[in-house]
Structure 1
Amino acid sequence: MTERPDIRYNAKTHVGLKRKVNEDAVLALPDQSIWMVSDGMGGHEAGDFASRLIADSIAMIPPGLDPADRMHALRDAIRSAHRIILGEAKSRGRGVIGATVAALILANGHFVALWAGDSRIYRLRDGAIEMLTTDHSAVAELVLAGQMTWDEAEQHPQSNAITRAVGVGDSVELDKVRGDVRAGDRFLICSDGLTKYATFKILRDALTAFPIETVSDQLIQMALSGGGADNITVIVLDVL
Protein backbone atom coordinates (compact mmCIF):
# COMPACT_ATOMS: atom_id res chain seq x y z
CA MET A 1 0.00 0.00 0.00
CA THR A 2 1.37 3.39 -1.01
CA GLU A 3 0.12 6.88 -0.41
CA ARG A 4 0.66 10.52 -1.21
CA PRO A 5 -1.22 13.47 0.33
CA ASP A 6 -4.33 13.11 -1.85
CA ILE A 7 -4.23 9.45 -2.97
CA ARG A 8 -3.70 6.06 -1.39
CA TYR A 9 -3.38 3.05 -3.65
CA ASN A 10 -2.62 -0.66 -3.61
CA ALA A 11 -1.45 -2.55 -6.73
CA LYS A 12 -1.09 -6.34 -6.95
CA THR A 13 -0.72 -9.01 -9.63
CA HIS A 14 -0.92 -12.81 -9.33
CA VAL A 15 -0.15 -15.51 -11.89
CA GLY A 16 -3.31 -17.41 -10.90
CA LEU A 17 -3.68 -21.16 -10.46
CA LYS A 18 -3.55 -22.46 -14.04
CA ARG A 19 -0.95 -20.38 -15.90
CA LYS A 20 2.82 -20.80 -15.65
CA VAL A 21 3.60 -17.24 -16.76
CA ASN A 22 2.05 -13.96 -15.71
CA GLU A 23 1.19 -12.13 -18.94
CA ASP A 24 -0.34 -9.20 -17.02
CA ALA A 25 1.61 -6.04 -16.26
CA VAL A 26 0.83 -3.41 -13.64
CA LEU A 27 2.25 0.11 -13.41
CA ALA A 28 1.86 2.82 -10.79
CA LEU A 29 3.36 6.26 -11.34
CA PRO A 30 1.91 8.21 -8.40
CA ASP A 31 4.10 11.27 -8.99
CA GLN A 32 2.55 11.57 -12.45
CA SER A 33 -0.90 10.39 -11.32
CA ILE A 34 -0.88 7.53 -13.86
CA TRP A 35 -1.96 3.95 -13.08
CA MET A 36 -2.22 1.16 -15.64
CA VAL A 37 -3.11 -2.53 -16.09
CA SER A 38 -2.26 -4.49 -19.24
CA ASP A 39 -3.23 -8.09 -20.06
CA GLY A 40 -1.05 -9.78 -22.69
CA MET A 41 -2.16 -12.21 -25.36
CA GLY A 42 -0.18 -14.51 -27.60
CA GLY A 43 1.29 -17.02 -25.18
CA HIS A 44 4.53 -17.16 -23.20
CA GLU A 45 7.28 -14.81 -24.45
CA ALA A 46 4.65 -12.94 -26.47
CA GLY A 47 1.80 -11.75 -24.24
CA ASP A 48 4.12 -10.94 -21.37
CA PHE A 49 6.45 -9.12 -23.80
CA ALA A 50 3.54 -7.00 -25.07
CA SER A 51 2.11 -6.04 -21.68
CA ARG A 52 5.55 -5.30 -20.24
CA LEU A 53 6.45 -3.16 -23.25
CA ILE A 54 3.31 -1.06 -22.78
CA ALA A 55 4.16 -0.57 -19.10
CA ASP A 56 7.77 0.33 -19.92
CA SER A 57 6.69 2.79 -22.62
CA ILE A 58 4.33 4.58 -20.22
CA ALA A 59 6.99 4.58 -17.50
CA MET A 60 9.20 6.66 -19.84
CA ILE A 61 6.76 9.59 -19.80
CA PRO A 62 8.78 12.54 -18.44
CA PRO A 63 7.72 13.98 -15.09
CA GLY A 64 6.38 17.47 -14.65
CA LEU A 65 4.00 17.60 -17.64
CA ASP A 66 0.76 19.50 -17.27
CA PRO A 67 -2.41 17.32 -17.36
CA ALA A 68 -3.19 17.86 -21.06
CA ASP A 69 0.39 17.11 -22.13
CA ARG A 70 0.45 14.08 -19.83
CA MET A 71 -2.67 12.64 -21.47
CA HIS A 72 -1.16 13.15 -24.95
CA ALA A 73 2.10 11.57 -23.76
CA LEU A 74 0.16 8.57 -22.43
CA ARG A 75 -1.60 8.12 -25.76
CA ASP A 76 1.69 8.51 -27.64
CA ALA A 77 3.41 5.95 -25.38
CA ILE A 78 0.69 3.38 -26.08
CA ARG A 79 0.86 4.05 -29.83
CA SER A 80 4.64 3.68 -29.74
CA ALA A 81 4.27 0.33 -27.95
CA HIS A 82 1.76 -0.72 -30.61
CA ARG A 83 4.26 -0.10 -33.41
CA ILE A 84 7.05 -1.96 -31.60
CA ILE A 85 4.81 -4.96 -30.87
CA LEU A 86 3.76 -5.11 -34.54
CA GLY A 87 7.41 -5.13 -35.56
CA GLU A 88 8.24 -7.81 -33.02
CA ALA A 89 5.43 -10.06 -34.23
CA LYS A 90 6.63 -9.66 -37.81
CA SER A 91 10.26 -10.39 -36.93
CA ARG A 92 9.23 -13.52 -35.00
CA GLY A 93 7.14 -14.68 -37.95
CA ARG A 94 4.30 -15.65 -35.69
CA GLY A 95 0.65 -14.80 -35.22
CA VAL A 96 -0.96 -12.26 -32.95
CA ILE A 97 1.02 -10.62 -30.18
CA GLY A 98 -0.88 -7.99 -28.26
CA ALA A 99 -2.22 -6.73 -24.97
CA THR A 100 -5.12 -4.84 -23.50
CA VAL A 101 -4.50 -1.56 -21.73
CA ALA A 102 -6.55 0.32 -19.14
CA ALA A 103 -4.91 3.51 -17.87
CA LEU A 104 -6.17 6.15 -15.45
CA ILE A 105 -4.90 9.71 -14.96
CA LEU A 106 -6.06 11.87 -12.05
CA ALA A 107 -5.52 15.63 -12.15
CA ASN A 108 -7.19 18.80 -10.87
CA GLY A 109 -10.30 17.10 -9.56
CA HIS A 110 -10.88 15.09 -12.73
CA PHE A 111 -10.02 11.69 -14.17
CA VAL A 112 -9.24 10.57 -17.71
CA ALA A 113 -9.35 6.88 -18.62
CA LEU A 114 -7.84 5.46 -21.83
CA TRP A 115 -8.31 1.85 -22.81
CA ALA A 116 -8.30 -0.82 -25.50
CA GLY A 117 -9.55 -4.36 -24.88
CA ASP A 118 -11.41 -5.80 -21.91
CA SER A 119 -9.38 -4.72 -18.90
CA ARG A 120 -11.69 -2.50 -16.90
CA ILE A 121 -11.87 0.61 -14.73
CA TYR A 122 -14.63 1.01 -12.13
CA ARG A 123 -15.50 3.77 -9.71
CA LEU A 124 -17.18 3.27 -6.34
CA ARG A 125 -18.95 6.43 -5.18
CA ASP A 126 -21.45 6.75 -2.33
CA GLY A 127 -21.85 2.97 -2.19
CA ALA A 128 -22.67 2.61 -5.90
CA ILE A 129 -20.32 1.01 -8.44
CA GLU A 130 -20.00 2.18 -12.04
CA MET A 131 -17.99 0.66 -14.87
CA LEU A 132 -16.26 3.59 -16.54
CA THR A 133 -14.88 1.60 -19.48
CA THR A 134 -16.71 -0.46 -22.10
CA ASP A 135 -15.16 -3.77 -23.15
CA HIS A 136 -13.93 -4.04 -26.71
CA SER A 137 -15.19 -7.58 -27.17
CA ALA A 138 -17.61 -9.60 -29.24
CA VAL A 139 -20.04 -9.98 -26.35
CA ALA A 140 -19.92 -6.27 -25.49
CA GLU A 141 -22.03 -5.65 -28.60
CA LEU A 142 -24.73 -7.89 -27.08
CA VAL A 143 -24.59 -5.95 -23.81
CA LEU A 144 -24.81 -2.60 -25.57
CA ALA A 145 -27.78 -3.92 -27.55
CA GLY A 146 -29.53 -4.75 -24.27
CA GLN A 147 -29.45 -8.50 -24.83
CA MET A 148 -27.43 -9.33 -21.70
CA THR A 149 -25.76 -7.70 -18.71
CA TRP A 150 -22.01 -7.25 -18.23
CA ASP A 151 -22.15 -9.94 -15.53
CA GLU A 152 -23.77 -12.36 -17.99
CA ALA A 153 -21.25 -11.41 -20.67
CA GLU A 154 -18.37 -12.60 -18.47
CA GLN A 155 -19.86 -16.12 -18.54
CA HIS A 156 -20.46 -16.16 -22.30
CA PRO A 157 -18.36 -18.70 -24.31
CA GLN A 158 -16.99 -15.85 -26.44
CA SER A 159 -16.12 -13.60 -23.48
CA ASN A 160 -12.39 -13.79 -24.27
CA ALA A 161 -12.81 -12.70 -27.91
CA ILE A 162 -11.62 -9.10 -27.77
CA THR A 163 -12.02 -6.83 -30.77
CA ARG A 164 -9.34 -4.28 -29.94
CA ALA A 165 -5.84 -4.53 -28.47
CA VAL A 166 -2.47 -2.84 -28.53
CA GLY A 167 -0.30 -4.60 -31.13
CA VAL A 168 -3.23 -5.84 -33.21
CA GLY A 169 -4.18 -4.18 -36.50
CA ASP A 170 -2.53 -1.36 -38.41
CA SER A 171 -3.27 1.24 -35.73
CA VAL A 172 -4.50 1.14 -32.16
CA GLU A 173 -7.80 2.83 -31.42
CA LEU A 174 -8.07 3.99 -27.82
CA ASP A 175 -11.35 4.95 -26.20
CA LYS A 176 -11.40 7.77 -23.67
CA VAL A 177 -13.74 8.81 -20.90
CA ARG A 178 -13.37 11.66 -18.44
CA GLY A 179 -15.25 12.84 -15.39
CA ASP A 180 -15.02 14.49 -12.01
CA VAL A 181 -13.27 13.12 -8.93
CA ARG A 182 -14.55 13.62 -5.39
CA ALA A 183 -13.05 12.90 -2.01
CA GLY A 184 -14.16 9.41 -1.01
CA ASP A 185 -14.13 8.00 -4.55
CA ARG A 186 -12.50 4.59 -4.92
CA PHE A 187 -11.25 3.45 -8.34
CA LEU A 188 -10.55 -0.14 -9.42
CA ILE A 189 -8.41 -1.01 -12.46
CA CYS A 190 -8.24 -4.73 -13.23
CA SER A 191 -7.66 -7.45 -15.79
CA ASP A 192 -10.38 -9.91 -16.73
CA GLY A 193 -8.75 -12.50 -14.48
CA LEU A 194 -10.72 -10.77 -11.71
CA THR A 195 -13.96 -9.90 -13.47
CA LYS A 196 -14.51 -13.48 -14.67
CA TYR A 197 -15.21 -14.29 -11.01
CA ALA A 198 -16.68 -11.07 -9.67
CA THR A 199 -20.09 -9.63 -10.49
CA PHE A 200 -20.82 -5.94 -10.00
CA LYS A 201 -22.37 -6.76 -6.61
CA ILE A 202 -19.36 -8.81 -5.49
CA LEU A 203 -17.01 -6.00 -6.50
CA ARG A 204 -19.16 -3.35 -4.83
CA ASP A 205 -19.36 -5.33 -1.60
CA ALA A 206 -15.60 -5.97 -1.51
CA LEU A 207 -14.68 -2.39 -2.39
CA THR A 208 -17.06 -1.15 0.30
CA ALA A 209 -15.98 -3.58 3.01
CA PHE A 210 -12.18 -3.68 2.90
CA PRO A 211 -9.60 -0.98 3.66
CA ILE A 212 -6.96 0.03 1.14
CA GLU A 213 -4.31 -2.02 2.95
CA THR A 214 -6.06 -5.34 2.23
CA VAL A 215 -8.64 -4.78 -0.52
CA SER A 216 -6.36 -5.83 -3.42
CA ASP A 217 -5.42 -9.06 -1.63
CA GLN A 218 -9.10 -9.77 -0.95
CA LEU A 219 -10.06 -9.25 -4.59
CA ILE A 220 -7.26 -11.52 -5.81
CA GLN A 221 -8.24 -14.16 -3.27
CA MET A 222 -11.82 -14.06 -4.57
CA ALA A 223 -10.58 -14.80 -8.09
CA LEU A 224 -8.33 -17.59 -6.82
CA SER A 225 -11.20 -19.11 -4.84
CA GLY A 226 -13.33 -18.97 -7.99
CA GLY A 227 -10.77 -21.01 -9.94
CA GLY A 228 -7.94 -18.61 -10.79
CA ALA A 229 -7.86 -19.75 -14.41
CA ASP A 230 -6.16 -16.55 -15.60
CA ASN A 231 -3.61 -14.03 -14.37
CA ILE A 232 -5.19 -11.54 -11.95
CA THR A 233 -4.16 -7.90 -11.68
CA VAL A 234 -5.74 -5.25 -9.46
CA ILE A 235 -5.10 -1.59 -8.63
CA VAL A 236 -7.34 0.14 -6.09
CA LEU A 237 -7.05 3.90 -5.54
CA ASP A 238 -8.67 5.97 -2.80
CA VAL A 239 -9.16 9.69 -3.27
CA LEU A 240 -8.62 11.42 0.07
Structure 2
Amino acid sequence: MKGDGTLAAGDGEAEPMPYAAVSALSHAGLVREHNEDSMVIGPWTLCATETRNPQMLVFPLGPPLVVAVADGIGGQPAGEVASALVVRRLAELGPSLDGEEAVREALELCNRAVYDAAEREPELAGMGTTVAGAVVLPEAVLTFNVGDSRVFDASDGELRQVSVDDSPPLPPGRRTTSLITQALGGARGFHAVTPHVRTYPLAVGGRYLICTDGLTDPVPEDVLDGLLREHDDGRAAFELWKAAIDAGGPDNITLAVVRIGEA
Protein backbone atom coordinates (compact mmCIF):
# COMPACT_ATOMS: atom_id res chain seq x y z
CA MET A 1 0.00 0.00 0.00
CA LYS A 2 1.28 3.45 -0.87
CA GLY A 3 1.39 6.19 1.81
CA ASP A 4 -1.64 7.89 0.22
CA GLY A 5 -3.72 4.75 0.62
CA THR A 6 -3.72 3.71 -3.05
CA LEU A 7 -2.90 0.16 -4.09
CA ALA A 8 0.43 -0.18 -5.94
CA ALA A 9 1.15 -2.79 -8.60
CA GLY A 10 2.57 -5.80 -6.84
CA ASP A 11 0.39 -5.16 -3.74
CA GLY A 12 -2.39 -7.42 -4.98
CA GLU A 13 -3.40 -5.59 -8.15
CA ALA A 14 -3.91 -8.11 -10.94
CA GLU A 15 -1.62 -7.80 -13.92
CA PRO A 16 -3.44 -7.47 -17.28
CA MET A 17 -3.77 -10.85 -18.96
CA PRO A 18 -3.51 -10.87 -22.76
CA TYR A 19 -5.57 -13.44 -24.60
CA ALA A 20 -6.55 -14.58 -28.09
CA ALA A 21 -10.27 -14.76 -28.90
CA VAL A 22 -11.02 -16.91 -31.95
CA SER A 23 -14.44 -16.86 -33.63
CA ALA A 24 -14.87 -19.42 -36.39
CA LEU A 25 -17.29 -21.28 -38.60
CA SER A 26 -17.29 -23.74 -41.49
CA HIS A 27 -20.11 -24.29 -43.95
CA ALA A 28 -20.62 -26.19 -47.21
CA GLY A 29 -22.10 -23.17 -49.01
CA LEU A 30 -25.06 -23.38 -51.36
CA VAL A 31 -23.63 -25.36 -54.28
CA ARG A 32 -21.27 -28.09 -53.01
CA GLU A 33 -22.86 -31.31 -51.80
CA HIS A 34 -20.51 -31.63 -48.84
CA ASN A 35 -17.82 -29.71 -47.00
CA GLU A 36 -14.18 -30.55 -47.83
CA ASP A 37 -12.75 -27.79 -45.61
CA SER A 38 -11.27 -28.39 -42.16
CA MET A 39 -9.91 -26.12 -39.42
CA VAL A 40 -7.77 -26.21 -36.29
CA ILE A 41 -7.85 -23.87 -33.29
CA GLY A 42 -5.32 -24.98 -30.69
CA PRO A 43 -6.23 -28.56 -29.74
CA TRP A 44 -9.70 -28.22 -31.31
CA THR A 45 -10.34 -29.48 -34.86
CA LEU A 46 -13.37 -29.41 -37.12
CA CYS A 47 -12.97 -31.80 -40.03
CA ALA A 48 -15.14 -31.77 -43.16
CA THR A 49 -18.32 -30.88 -41.30
CA GLU A 50 -20.38 -27.76 -40.51
CA THR A 51 -20.94 -25.42 -37.60
CA ARG A 52 -24.48 -24.06 -37.37
CA ASN A 53 -23.32 -20.91 -35.56
CA PRO A 54 -19.97 -19.17 -35.06
CA GLN A 55 -17.88 -20.89 -32.39
CA MET A 56 -15.80 -18.72 -30.03
CA LEU A 57 -12.79 -19.97 -28.10
CA VAL A 58 -10.56 -17.89 -25.80
CA PHE A 59 -6.95 -18.76 -24.94
CA PRO A 60 -4.54 -16.96 -22.57
CA LEU A 61 -1.32 -16.13 -24.38
CA GLY A 62 1.55 -18.44 -23.56
CA PRO A 63 2.22 -21.68 -25.45
CA PRO A 64 1.99 -21.39 -29.25
CA LEU A 65 -1.64 -21.24 -30.43
CA VAL A 66 -2.18 -22.43 -34.00
CA VAL A 67 -5.29 -21.32 -35.93
CA ALA A 68 -5.56 -22.60 -39.50
CA VAL A 69 -7.94 -23.58 -42.29
CA ALA A 70 -7.40 -26.26 -44.93
CA ASP A 71 -9.33 -26.47 -48.21
CA GLY A 72 -9.40 -29.91 -49.84
CA ILE A 73 -8.68 -29.63 -53.55
CA GLY A 74 -11.90 -29.96 -55.54
CA GLY A 75 -12.07 -32.13 -58.64
CA GLN A 76 -9.63 -34.62 -57.13
CA PRO A 77 -10.38 -37.54 -54.79
CA ALA A 78 -10.70 -37.26 -51.03
CA GLY A 79 -10.06 -33.56 -50.52
CA GLU A 80 -11.82 -33.83 -47.18
CA VAL A 81 -9.42 -36.60 -46.11
CA ALA A 82 -6.39 -34.45 -46.96
CA SER A 83 -7.71 -31.34 -45.18
CA ALA A 84 -8.65 -33.33 -42.06
CA LEU A 85 -5.27 -35.05 -41.96
CA VAL A 86 -3.44 -31.71 -42.13
CA VAL A 87 -5.39 -29.92 -39.39
CA ARG A 88 -5.12 -32.91 -37.07
CA ARG A 89 -1.37 -33.00 -37.61
CA LEU A 90 -1.14 -29.24 -36.94
CA ALA A 91 -3.15 -29.70 -33.73
CA GLU A 92 -0.58 -32.28 -32.59
CA LEU A 93 2.40 -30.13 -33.59
CA GLY A 94 0.91 -26.82 -32.42
CA PRO A 95 2.69 -26.55 -29.03
CA SER A 96 6.08 -26.88 -30.79
CA LEU A 97 5.50 -24.10 -33.34
CA ASP A 98 7.65 -21.48 -31.65
CA GLY A 99 9.35 -19.96 -34.72
CA GLU A 100 9.39 -19.71 -38.50
CA GLU A 101 11.60 -22.76 -38.99
CA ALA A 102 9.35 -24.91 -36.81
CA VAL A 103 6.32 -23.83 -38.87
CA ARG A 104 8.08 -24.64 -42.15
CA GLU A 105 9.10 -28.06 -40.86
CA ALA A 106 5.55 -28.75 -39.67
CA LEU A 107 4.10 -27.92 -43.10
CA GLU A 108 6.70 -30.10 -44.79
CA LEU A 109 5.71 -32.93 -42.43
CA CYS A 110 2.05 -32.35 -43.31
CA ASN A 111 2.87 -32.50 -47.01
CA ARG A 112 4.74 -35.79 -46.56
CA ALA A 113 1.86 -37.18 -44.47
CA VAL A 114 -0.67 -36.49 -47.26
CA TYR A 115 1.51 -38.31 -49.81
CA ASP A 116 2.18 -41.19 -47.41
CA ALA A 117 -1.56 -41.65 -46.78
CA ALA A 118 -2.25 -41.66 -50.53
CA GLU A 119 0.49 -44.21 -51.09
CA ARG A 120 -1.02 -46.55 -48.50
CA GLU A 121 -4.51 -46.28 -50.01
CA PRO A 122 -4.58 -46.07 -53.82
CA GLU A 123 -8.10 -44.63 -53.86
CA LEU A 124 -6.65 -41.51 -52.21
CA ALA A 125 -3.99 -40.98 -54.89
CA GLY A 126 -3.81 -37.34 -55.96
CA MET A 127 -5.62 -35.95 -52.91
CA GLY A 128 -4.43 -32.59 -51.70
CA THR A 129 -5.29 -29.49 -49.73
CA THR A 130 -4.33 -25.88 -49.23
CA VAL A 131 -3.56 -24.54 -45.77
CA ALA A 132 -3.36 -21.06 -44.26
CA GLY A 133 -3.10 -19.90 -40.70
CA ALA A 134 -1.38 -18.11 -37.87
CA VAL A 135 0.52 -19.09 -34.76
CA VAL A 136 -0.04 -16.68 -31.86
CA LEU A 137 2.93 -16.32 -29.52
CA PRO A 138 3.25 -14.01 -26.50
CA GLU A 139 5.16 -11.38 -28.51
CA ALA A 140 4.63 -12.28 -32.17
CA VAL A 141 2.26 -13.71 -34.75
CA LEU A 142 3.59 -16.13 -37.35
CA THR A 143 1.47 -16.31 -40.51
CA PHE A 144 1.76 -19.13 -43.03
CA ASN A 145 0.19 -20.62 -46.13
CA VAL A 146 0.56 -23.11 -48.95
CA GLY A 147 -1.98 -22.68 -51.75
CA ASP A 148 -4.61 -19.97 -52.12
CA SER A 149 -6.33 -19.92 -48.73
CA ARG A 150 -5.57 -16.56 -47.15
CA VAL A 151 -4.53 -14.69 -44.03
CA PHE A 152 -5.41 -11.00 -43.60
CA ASP A 153 -4.22 -8.51 -40.99
CA ALA A 154 -7.03 -6.15 -39.93
CA SER A 155 -5.16 -4.69 -36.95
CA ASP A 156 -4.83 -1.07 -38.10
CA GLY A 157 -8.36 -0.56 -39.36
CA GLU A 158 -7.42 -1.49 -42.90
CA LEU A 159 -7.51 -5.04 -44.26
CA ARG A 160 -4.15 -6.21 -45.61
CA GLN A 161 -3.39 -9.63 -47.08
CA VAL A 162 -0.27 -11.12 -45.48
CA SER A 163 -0.40 -14.56 -47.10
CA VAL A 164 0.91 -15.22 -50.62
CA ASP A 165 -1.43 -16.76 -53.20
CA ASP A 166 0.12 -19.78 -54.89
CA SER A 167 -1.73 -19.08 -58.13
CA PRO A 168 -0.69 -18.24 -61.70
CA PRO A 169 -0.87 -14.57 -62.75
CA LEU A 170 -4.43 -13.42 -63.42
CA PRO A 171 -5.38 -12.17 -66.87
CA PRO A 172 -6.49 -8.52 -67.09
CA GLY A 173 -9.95 -7.94 -65.65
CA ARG A 174 -10.05 -11.23 -63.74
CA ARG A 175 -10.17 -11.24 -59.92
CA THR A 176 -10.07 -14.96 -59.11
CA THR A 177 -8.80 -18.29 -60.41
CA SER A 178 -9.33 -21.90 -59.38
CA LEU A 179 -5.76 -22.83 -60.35
CA ILE A 180 -3.03 -23.22 -57.74
CA THR A 181 0.70 -23.71 -58.20
CA GLN A 182 1.39 -25.65 -55.00
CA ALA A 183 -0.52 -27.53 -52.33
CA LEU A 184 0.01 -30.14 -49.63
CA GLY A 185 -0.27 -33.30 -51.70
CA GLY A 186 -2.28 -32.96 -54.89
CA ALA A 187 -0.05 -34.94 -57.26
CA ARG A 188 0.51 -38.61 -58.07
CA GLY A 189 4.18 -38.41 -57.11
CA PHE A 190 5.78 -36.54 -54.24
CA HIS A 191 6.31 -32.78 -54.70
CA ALA A 192 8.10 -30.70 -52.08
CA VAL A 193 6.51 -27.42 -50.99
CA THR A 194 7.90 -23.98 -50.21
CA PRO A 195 5.70 -22.60 -47.42
CA HIS A 196 5.19 -18.86 -47.05
CA VAL A 197 5.95 -17.93 -43.42
CA ARG A 198 6.23 -14.43 -41.95
CA THR A 199 6.60 -12.93 -38.48
CA TYR A 200 4.76 -9.84 -37.19
CA PRO A 201 4.88 -8.16 -33.77
CA LEU A 202 1.96 -8.96 -31.49
CA ALA A 203 -0.13 -6.08 -30.12
CA VAL A 204 -3.27 -5.91 -28.04
CA GLY A 205 -6.08 -5.00 -30.44
CA GLY A 206 -4.54 -6.99 -33.27
CA ARG A 207 -7.05 -8.76 -35.53
CA TYR A 208 -6.59 -11.40 -38.20
CA LEU A 209 -8.88 -13.10 -40.70
CA ILE A 210 -7.97 -16.62 -41.83
CA CYS A 211 -10.15 -18.13 -44.55
CA THR A 212 -10.58 -20.43 -47.52
CA ASP A 213 -11.37 -19.12 -51.00
CA GLY A 214 -15.04 -19.92 -50.47
CA LEU A 215 -15.09 -16.52 -48.76
CA THR A 216 -12.61 -14.50 -50.83
CA ASP A 217 -13.67 -15.65 -54.31
CA PRO A 218 -17.30 -14.42 -54.11
CA VAL A 219 -16.77 -11.51 -51.71
CA PRO A 220 -14.52 -8.60 -52.80
CA GLU A 221 -11.84 -7.45 -50.39
CA ASP A 222 -13.42 -4.04 -49.85
CA VAL A 223 -16.58 -5.76 -48.59
CA LEU A 224 -14.54 -7.91 -46.20
CA ASP A 225 -12.81 -4.75 -45.01
CA GLY A 226 -16.11 -2.97 -44.36
CA LEU A 227 -17.58 -5.89 -42.43
CA LEU A 228 -14.51 -6.19 -40.21
CA ARG A 229 -14.59 -2.45 -39.51
CA GLU A 230 -18.22 -2.72 -38.40
CA HIS A 231 -18.22 -6.04 -36.52
CA ASP A 232 -16.01 -8.11 -34.23
CA ASP A 233 -15.73 -11.66 -32.92
CA GLY A 234 -18.74 -13.94 -33.55
CA ARG A 235 -20.79 -11.23 -35.23
CA ALA A 236 -17.94 -10.56 -37.65
CA ALA A 237 -17.66 -14.27 -38.46
CA PHE A 238 -21.41 -14.48 -39.07
CA GLU A 239 -21.56 -11.40 -41.29
CA LEU A 240 -18.58 -12.59 -43.37
CA TRP A 241 -20.24 -15.96 -43.89
CA LYS A 242 -23.55 -14.28 -44.76
CA ALA A 243 -21.80 -12.13 -47.38
CA ALA A 244 -20.50 -15.27 -49.07
CA ILE A 245 -23.94 -16.87 -48.93
CA ASP A 246 -25.58 -13.72 -50.32
CA ALA A 247 -23.04 -13.86 -53.17
CA GLY A 248 -24.26 -17.34 -54.10
CA GLY A 249 -22.21 -19.50 -51.73
CA PRO A 250 -20.45 -21.24 -54.67
CA ASP A 251 -17.90 -23.09 -52.52
CA ASN A 252 -17.23 -24.31 -48.99
CA ILE A 253 -16.78 -21.38 -46.58
CA THR A 254 -14.41 -21.68 -43.63
CA LEU A 255 -13.09 -18.74 -41.66
CA ALA A 256 -11.64 -17.68 -38.33
CA VAL A 257 -11.43 -14.17 -36.86
CA VAL A 258 -8.61 -13.84 -34.33
CA ARG A 259 -8.57 -10.90 -31.89
CA ILE A 260 -5.82 -10.14 -29.38
CA GLY A 261 -7.36 -8.74 -26.21
CA GLU A 262 -6.38 -7.96 -22.63
CA ALA A 263 -8.42 -8.64 -19.51
TM-score normalised per structure 2? 0.77
Please say which of residues 88-97 and 193-202 is displaced more in the overlay: 88-97
Identity level (%): 28
Structure 2 residue aligned with 1:166, among 184, 198, 202?
184
Please say which of residues 40-49 and 130-139 is displaced more in the overlay: 40-49
Check if 1:211 corresponds to 2:224. no
| Paired letter, 1:53 | L
| Paired letter, 2:104 | R
- Which structure 1 residue ranges, 5 or more long, are not aligned? none
- Which structure 2 residue ranges, 5 or more long, are not aligned? 1-16, 43-58
Check if 1:153 corresponds to 2:171. no
Indicate if the aligned counterparts of 2:71 and 2:131 stay in contact, CA closer than 8 A. yes
Deviation at 1:210, TM superposition (A): 1.0
| Paired letter, 1:204 | D
> Which position in structure 1 is the counterpart of 2:111?
82
Deviation at 1:109, TM superposition (A): 2.5
Q: Which has the larger radius of gyration?
A: 2
Indicate if the aligned counterparts of 2:237 and 2:256 stay in contact, CA closer than 8 A. yes
Deviation at 1:22, TM superposition (A): 0.7
Map of 1:19-30 to 2, 5 A cutoff? Answer: 19-29=32-42, 30=59
| Paired letter, 1:231 | N
Check if 1:15 corresponds to 2:1. no
Residue 128 of structure 1: SS of its match in structure 2?
A: coil
| Number of positions where the alignment pairs a residue of Structure 1 with one of Structure 2 | 222
CA distance in 1, matches of 2:97, 2:183: 27
Root-mean-square deviation (CA, aligned residues, Å) is 2.2
> Which position in structure 2 is the counterpart of 1:112?
142
Please say which of residues 201-210 and 37-46 is displaced more in the overlay: 37-46
The 3 A distance-change label for structure 1 pair 76 and 200 is same
Structure 2 residue aligned with 1:130, among 160, 175, 184?
160
CA distance in 2, matches of 1:122, 1:14: 20
Check if 1:176 corresponds to 2:197. yes
Deviation at 1:43, TM superposition (A): 4.8
Indicate if the aligned counterparts of 2:131 and 2:146 stay in contact, CA closer than 8 A. yes
Indicate if the aligned counterparts of 1:26 and 1:55 stay in contact, CA closer than 8 A. yes
Deviation at 1:237, TM superposition (A): 0.7
Residue 198 of structure 1: SS of its match in structure 2?
A: coil
Indicate if the aligned counterparts of 1:100 and 1:166 stay in contact, CA closer than 8 A. yes
Deviation at 1:93, TM superposition (A): 5.4
Deviation at 1:42, TM superposition (A): 4.6
> Which position in structure 1 is the counterpart of 2:244?
223
Indicate if the aligned counterparts of 2:150 and 2:165 stay in contact, CA closer than 8 A. yes
Residue 67 of structure 1: SS of its match in structure 2?
A: coil
